[in-house]
Structures are given as C-alpha cells and as structure tokens.
Structure 1
C-alpha cells in the first residue's frame, strides 16, 4: 500500500499537484532514506546541482501555482542529507544586487514567471510565495529584477489583488 501511495504521489507531483508533499516529506528521513526513495516519491528533479563536497542537490519546485520549492541534498553515498523549502524570508534576504541569474536560481529554484520590461531594460522573475490568508485570499509574489547583463538590480514583493 505504501508503495502504491508513493507511486501515486510521485505521478501527481510530476503533474504539479502537491497534496502528496506532506506524506512524502514525512516518509523521507535524512541519514536513512536513499536517493532512489527520493526519486520514487518526488519523481525526477527539475534541476540538479553538483556540490563541492561530492553531494548533489535536486530541485523540486511547485511553481507556478504552488508556493514551495524543495532543494533535496543527496550525499556521495546516495543517502538523503537534507530537505529544504527554500522560498522563505531568510533566502529572500540573501538575494543581493550583483548576483547572477544562476546564483538566484540555485538559491530559490525556477521562478513561476519571467518577463522582460522593454522601457526599463530589465527582466523580472517572480515566485508565488503565499496563497493569501482567509477566504478572500490574494496571492503574494517575491520578485527579482535583472539588468541586461543578467545581474540583480533589485527585489521586492507584490500582492495580486482580484477585482
């Protein structure tokens, strides 16, 4: 039964349906779970980064409609080291002017959207970070602006109010 639930959750998460994340995260144990178990539960990663210590970090974003991005680190021994939900205030504060797009992607994962503003000569990436609070919820977004050289020139937040 557990194997069926894991398979179903992996398939749904591949389609962007994240209700199973809660169950998947409870089942995975750092220091115990294997890379194979992570892939069984979350599917293939959106992006993979090799780290200096021989470990690898896999990106599992829930953008554009979800509000999480999990960075899952697997040690060189193929054992799960840690799971981080990276769309949080601490990581938003780490985005500073001069960073490259690759550095921002490594920190926050793939953005929900990217748009170029011709008059400002800037590209803006945005991540959905909240569905809002209460019954009349309006989603909130974190944004990062890049100049034409692909370097951060600012960041911010906005709420998408419904009419």
Structure 2
C-alpha cells in the first residue's frame, strides 16, 4: 500500500512539472489542438495565423518564467512549441513595434506601469534568473504606442517583507 501511494505521488509530481515543450505526449504533425487543450487546459489567448492555423498561448505570468506558444496548422495539427520568453524570443522585440505585436510575441505581461514624467509605459515579464541568483524581469518600454527600448532588471528580496519580491 505504501509503495502504491508513493508511486501515485511521484506520478502526480511528474505530471505537474510537465511543460508543453518537454512533453513527450505531444508530437509535431500528429498531436491535435483538442489533445493539447485536454492536457494543458484552455490557453490564455488564441492567436489566429495567416495560413488558417492558430497559436495557443500558455503563459505562466505573473509568477512563472515561461510563455509557451503552441503553433497549430490549418488542420489543427501541432507544428511547434516555443518558449516566447527564452533569450531568442525576447530578442525578437524591436524598436517601433506596437503593444499588440509585443503581446503576440511574448504573451501576457506580468505588469504594466506608466511613468507620467517620461511618458513611458513599461511592461515586464518574469524570466528565468541568470547566474546571479536573483529574480529577473524583462522590460519593454513604450512611448507613444511603440517600443523605444528593452532592458533587464533584477528583483532583490525584500528585507521588510521576506518572500515578497514585488
């Protein structure tokens, strides 16, 4: 009995850690949109594609570090899965892009803050920390409805409220 409970707990733990990009049940050209939704639930957003396909957005913001974009073709078959918040995904954000274009690339943001004096609207996403050990955020700065620059910021632990990093 103890072994059965341990095995069940391990299976649930492994299933809870599965991510679309590492899930061996999902196979390009074979897996269907309904299967993906059955496994991972409803996506946060669905983006239509020019070829008749669609992209399912699975964002872990505000607490997680990933946004999985699951690309389906016009026949509803899996084409690819990308982590939009990977370094390569973040590098696709360019000056001049609109907020909708950035949302389409990176998925739902963690937060938005408007700075009245500079006239900048800053959106951020929690991302995988680098070797320094502190939390990291990717920031996109908009002015007059277009990207002007991007940057990274570190999240230092709070001395007043331990465990709160906002």
Q: TM-score, normalised by structure 2?
A: 0.80
Contact kept? 1:59, 1:70, Cα under 8 Å: yes
Deviation at 1:161, TM superposition (A): 1.6
Aligned residue in 1 for 2:136: 140
- The Cα offsets for residues 33-73 of structure 1, whole Å up to 9 and x where unpaired, read as 11111000111111111111111011000111111100001
User: 1:24·1:41 contact (CA, 8 Å) conserved in 2?
Assistant: no
Q: Which structure 2 residues correspond to residues 5-154 of structure 1 after superposition, within 5 A?
A: 19-21=17-19, 25-131=23-129, 133=131, 137-147=133-143, 149-154=144-149
Displacement of 1:74 in angstroms is: 1.1
Contact 2:55 2:70 in 1 (8 A): yes
Gaps of 5+ in 2: 1-11, 160-166
CA displacement, residues 73-101 of structure 1 (integer Å, 9 cap, x when unaligned): 11111211111111122222221111000
Residue correspondences, number: 146
In 2, are the aligned partners of 1:24 and 1:42 still within 8 Å (CA)?
A: no
Larger Rg: 2
- Residues 1:161 and 2:132 are matched in the alignment: no
SS of match in other structure, 2:118: coil
Deviations 1:4-52 (A, max 9, x none): xxxx89xx9xxxxx62326972211111111111000111111111111
Q: Which runs of 5+ in 1 are unaligned?
A: 1-7, 13-17
Output the CA distance in 1 between the equivalents of 2:131 and 2:95: 31
TM-score when normalising by structure 1: 0.81
The DSSP-based 3-state class of the residue aligned with 2:23 is: helix
Kindly indicate whether the alpha-carbon contact (under 8 Å) linking 1:72 and 1:83 is maintained by their aligned counterparts in 2: yes
**Take 2:93 and 2:29, find their aligned partners in 1: how far apart are those partners?**
30
For 2:9, the equivalent position in structure 1 comes to none
C-alpha distance in structure 1 between counterparts of 2:146 and 2:67, whole Å: 22
